[in-house]
Amino acid sequence: MFGETYRSGRKAPASGIYRCTGCGRKVTVNRGRKLPACHGEWEIFERTTKKSKKEKGGFFDSLFG
């Protein structure tokens, strides 16, 4: 996935922040949603994940968990 480019209108293969190779614009797109129109193609800048409620810890869990 990294290093590959995707055309506008194509469904995003993974959730993440995508960067336009033409103008540098960055957008967040969920997996399965269409990539917006822009000046170039899109590349994954940073993948994102959503934790389930069971996986989310509180402040102290992040310090001591």
In tens, the pLDDT along 20-60 reads 999 999 999 999 999 999 999 999 999 987 665 555 666 65
Cross-strand partners of 17: 28, 46
For the sheet with 16-20, list strands across it: 5-6, 42-47, 16-20, 26-29
* pTM > 0.75: yes or no: no
CA distances 30 to 19, 38, 50, 64, Å, are 14, 17, 10, 31
- Judged against a pLDDT cut of 80, whether residue 1 lies above it is answered with no
In tens, the pLDDT along 7-24 reads 999 999 999 999 999 999
Domain ranges of the chain: 5-49
- Judged against a pLDDT cut of 70, whether residue 61 lies above it is answered with no
Q: Are 10 and 33 in contact (CB under 8 A)?
A: no
- pLDDT band per the 50, 70, 90 thresholds, residue 63: low
| Terminal Cα distance for the chain, rounded | 31
